Amino acid sequence: MSANAPAKTSANPNSPDRNFPLERTRNIGIAAHIDAGKTTLTERILFYTGMIHKIGEVHEGTTVTDWMEQERERGITITSAATTCSWLQRPEPGVFKQYEGINMRVNIIDTPGHVDFTAEVERSLRVLDGAIAVFCGVAGVQPQSETVWRQATKYGVPRIAFVNKMDRTGADFDAAVESMRSKLGANAWPILIPLGREDYLKGQIDVVNQKAVIYMDDNSMGSTYEVTEIPADHEDMAKAAYQDLIEQMCDLDDEVGMLFLEEKEITVPILKAAIRRQTIANKFVPVAGGSAFKNKGVQYLVDAVIDYLPGPLDIPPAKGQDPDDASERFAEADDNGKFCSLAFKLWSDPFVGKLVFFRVYRGKLSKGDTVLNPRTGRRERISRLIQIQADKRQDIDVCYSGDIAAIVGIRNITTGDTLCDEDFPILLEPPSFPDPVISMAIEPKTKVDQEKMATALQRLAEEDPTFRVFTNEDTGQTIIAGMGELHLEIIRDRLMREFKVEADSGKPQIAYRETLTAPAKGEGKLIKQSGGRGQYGHVIVQMTPNERGKGLTVENKVVGGTIPKEYIPACIKGINESMLNGIVGGYPVIDVHVDIIDGSYHDVDSNEMAFKLAAIFAMKDAFKNGKPILLEPIMKVEAVVPDEYQGDIMGDLNRRRAKIVGIESKNIVSAINAEVPLAEMFGYATAIRSLSKGRASYSMEPSHFEQVPTQMVAAVLDQKS
């Protein structure tokens, strides 16, 4: 076997010193649309696991994982918070539990739902083994639910779905499950069906064990429940759900399928093992229903996490590449192997300084060890290790494979860097992040603020890969860019509260783009020959529009050596540089294919710089001839509106140049799906509230770029100047 092939873990991959073996560890994230109840669910899990002794509420600003001042004031999650708890599966009469009486370690990351903080979800899912996707029992699948689902699919994260808020008026469990299948393409089937709904929600039907779980309405906050036979009026539905599960497993799982064909009994342990296998293989999504806020259904959901979501040993080894020769390397979960981890988040802590959150994939890390950052080639000594409990920090001496922890004091590190043993250099794939869609100028109020602001913005940009800071070359202004109005508002708020920087900000600016609509040829020459060593470069390019989302592609089609091979990289560098500024309004150019087709050179005067500049001139020439257009970001918007306000809201959206994609009726509300230019969405939160007397809500996420209407181009360019 080659050294770089996935190695098998040692006979016992667990260090004798670790408290929880790998097979009893679960790393999960809780992800969903805004207001689906992620933080409320996390709070209940921490309460039932004994981590906290009083349940906090989002609306009271007392939850554990929403610990930032801004989170508690606004009732939203801004930064993903990591916390650790242990779970003991309790024995219950007549119910089979795979891990009954075994103490399990569950590491939880509660992620934001707002699209402005999508980077937090992206980097969390990159390092997690499994996830609970939370859906609202009334609204079902919402736009940000789809984004989160796509992110989890991208990283191959197995999921359990939790249909929350089944106590709310209009809650419909079956409709929510159906929307997962139709909108997400998920093979989703119930394992825990809510027993009753709205005011009559009593508990859950355990489909696998064919039992009912009734949660007590007493002072113990749902801690006490009893397992009973399924009520007579729900028996048929429970049996039908069980048959559906069996059919799905027969189709997906060879072992269950064979037993079915041989007409042998499919026992509960066999069925549970099959559900686990297919969930981990991402072919099946178990669905549970309940109400976190009303303390109904959370304990059995955690049981399902333990039963069906993978531990570090159940997932494929982390795949990376050798930094020297780019060959594939693998890091399997094994405490006895060489250390390998991924730094997925940076955070400036007011008490301990810069925290680097990391996930250990292989080996163990102790205080005093030295690790390698293969991207920079630098070695770093680990002086302090911390176990995170939301906003609380607990010093630890060692962390093992499968653990999520934080290091204090490492420099020259960015989100997505690998930290590994010097004898096992590997580059793991970092999480990917979307580009900012909105920017604004920011100015310090005083000279003292100016120095502090530069440092503060740099630290915030290090923490958040979707936040950018740059200087406008024409005006000298400092520009900050992010994912939305709320994102930049929070950044300004943090500048003031955490870094004590007073700053004024300008009106938000849209991240416009430019592209070509017609093929065009461009020629660029740089000739400076006035005695002595001169400069000579000559490049001819052919440019064609690329398909949307493809970006810039370049091909060398020079024949006969009219441009020597050693100057082609300089030409490509010039082509890349020229894409930063188009000719319509100086905005970046996207989705263009460039062929370098011809040119000429001078034996003495040609050099790399001359060809780079000639390529830039050729590109500018082609831009002029290619019928360039201005593009604007289009947002995917869902407005959830009571029926009586639907006309007013749609009228307002039409005034904002919206393209209505569809209207979905959900009980007494309608979900209006539209595509709206970002430029028209400023202040929409206030508008939709006033039009609906505060009863409508909306969410939006970036969708694509579209051409700015011809009659509006002049106004956009005037704004810039």
Contacts of 475 by beta carbon, 8 Å cutoff, 6+ apart: 441
Count Cβ atoms within 10 A of the Cβ of residue 210 and give its class: 0-12 exposed, 13-18 middle, 19 or more buried.
middle
- On whether both 639 and 602 belong to a single domain, the answer is no
User: Does residue 10 sit within a domain?
Assistant: no
Structure confidence by residue, pLDDT tens digits, 634-650: 988 888 888 888 999 99
CATH of the domain at 679: 3.30.70.240
- On whether both 623 and 635 belong to a single domain, the answer is no
CATH of the domain at 217: 3.40.50.300
CA distances from 307 to 67, 100, 274 (A): 30, 10, 11
Token look-up 């009980």 returns: 667
Which pair of tokens denotes residue 225? 């429940």
Nearest to 287 by CA among 174, 195, 156: 174
Last residue of a domain, one of 428, 458, 477: 428
Per-residue confidence (pLDDT) for residue 15, from 0 to 100: 81
User: Does residue 292 sit within a domain?
Assistant: yes
Nearest to 298 by CA among 203, 207, 199: 203
Last residue of a domain, one of 484, 511, 538: 511
Higher pLDDT, 588 or 15: 588
Contacts of 645 by beta carbon, 8 Å cutoff, 6+ apart: 691, 692, 693, 695, 696
Asked if 433 and 465 touch (Cβ cutoff 8 Å), the reply is yes
User: Does residue 174 sit within a domain?
Assistant: yes
Nearest to 305 by CA among 37, 64, 105: 105
User: Does residue 12 sit within a domain?
Assistant: no
Split at pLDDT 50, 70, 90, the class of 390 is low
Backbone torsions φ then ψ of 275, nearest 5 degrees: -60, -40
- On whether both 193 and 73 belong to a single domain, the answer is yes
Structure confidence by residue, pLDDT tens digits, 569-605: 999 999 999 999 899 988 899 999 999 999 999 888 8
Per-residue confidence (pLDDT) for residue 667, from 0 to 100: 64
Q: For residue 89, is pLDDT > 60? A: yes
Q: For residue 536, is pLDDT > 50? A: yes
- On whether both 533 and 485 belong to a single domain, the answer is no
Rounded to two decimals, the pTM is: 0.73
- On whether both 159 and 198 belong to a single domain, the answer is yes
Q: For residue 530, is pLDDT > 70? A: no
Region of 157 please: left (phi>0), alpha (psi -120 to 50) or beta: beta
Per-residue confidence (pLDDT) for residue 20, from 0 to 100: 87
Backbone torsions φ then ψ of 566, nearest 5 degrees: -70, -15
Top-confidence range, 7-16, 164-173, 436-445: 164-173
Tally of CB atoms within 10 A around 393? 17
Tally of CB atoms within 10 A around 609? 14
Last residue of a domain, one of 627, 648, 669: 627
Nearest to 93 by CA among 184, 213, 273: 213
Question: What whole-number percentage of the chain has pLDDT above 70?
Answer: 90
Per-residue confidence (pLDDT) for residue 78, from 0 to 100: 62
Number of structural domains found in the chain:
5
User: Does residue 313 sit within a domain?
Assistant: no
- On whether both 591 and 529 belong to a single domain, the answer is yes
User: Does residue 673 sit within a domain?
Assistant: yes
Contacts of 60 by beta carbon, 8 Å cutoff, 6+ apart: none
User: Does residue 566 sit within a domain?
Assistant: yes
How far apart are the C-alpha atoms of 156 and 125, rounded to whole Å? 9
- On whether both 418 and 457 belong to a single domain, the answer is no
Q: How far apart are the first and last CA of the chain?
A: 63
Higher pLDDT, 449 or 674: 674
Per-residue confidence (pLDDT) for residue 79, from 0 to 100: 62
Give the residue numbers spanning the domain of 196.
Answer: 22-308
Structure confidence by residue, pLDDT tens digits, 289-345: 999 988 899 999 999 999 999 999 999 999 999 888 888 989 899 999 999 999 888
Higher pLDDT, 164 or 38: 164
How far apart are the C-alpha atoms of 346 and 357, rounded to whole Å? 6
Higher pLDDT, 695 or 481: 481
Per-residue confidence (pLDDT) for residue 523, from 0 to 100: 94
- On whether both 298 and 351 belong to a single domain, the answer is no
CATH of the domain at 479: 3.30.70.870
How far apart are the C-alpha atoms of 646 and 289, rounded to whole Å? 30
> What single letter denotes the amino acid at residue 50?
G
How far apart are the C-alpha atoms of 422 and 161, rounded to whole Å? 40
Contacts of 489 by beta carbon, 8 Å cutoff, 6+ apart: none
Structure confidence by residue, pLDDT tens digits, 53-72: 666 566 555 555 544 566 55
What is the average per-residue pLDDT within 518-539? 86
Average pLDDT, the chain: 86
Structure confidence by residue, pLDDT tens digits, 100-157: 888 998 988 878 766 667 777 888 888 899 999 999 999 888 877 877 888 888 889 9
Split at pLDDT 50, 70, 90, the class of 9 is low
Higher pLDDT, 425 or 11: 425
Per-residue confidence (pLDDT) for residue 2, from 0 to 100: 41
Query: Among 22-36, 250-264, 618-632, whose mean pLDDT is lowest?
Result: 22-36
- On whether both 210 and 231 belong to a single domain, the answer is yes
CATH of the domain at 359: 2.40.30.10
Q: Which residues of 484-506 are buried (b: 16+ CB within 10 A; e: fewer)?
A: bbbbbbbbbbbbeebbebebebe
- On whether both 381 and 263 belong to a single domain, the answer is no
- On whether both 531 and 661 belong to a single domain, the answer is no
What is the average per-residue pLDDT within 17-38? 86
Structure confidence by residue, pLDDT tens digits, 427-465: 998 887 877 777 788 888 888 888 888 888 888 888 888
Higher pLDDT, 492 or 279: 279
Backbone torsions φ then ψ of 171, nearest 5 degrees: -65, 135
- On whether both 54 and 187 belong to a single domain, the answer is yes
User: Does residue 319 sit within a domain?
Assistant: no
CATH of the domain at 613: 3.30.230.10
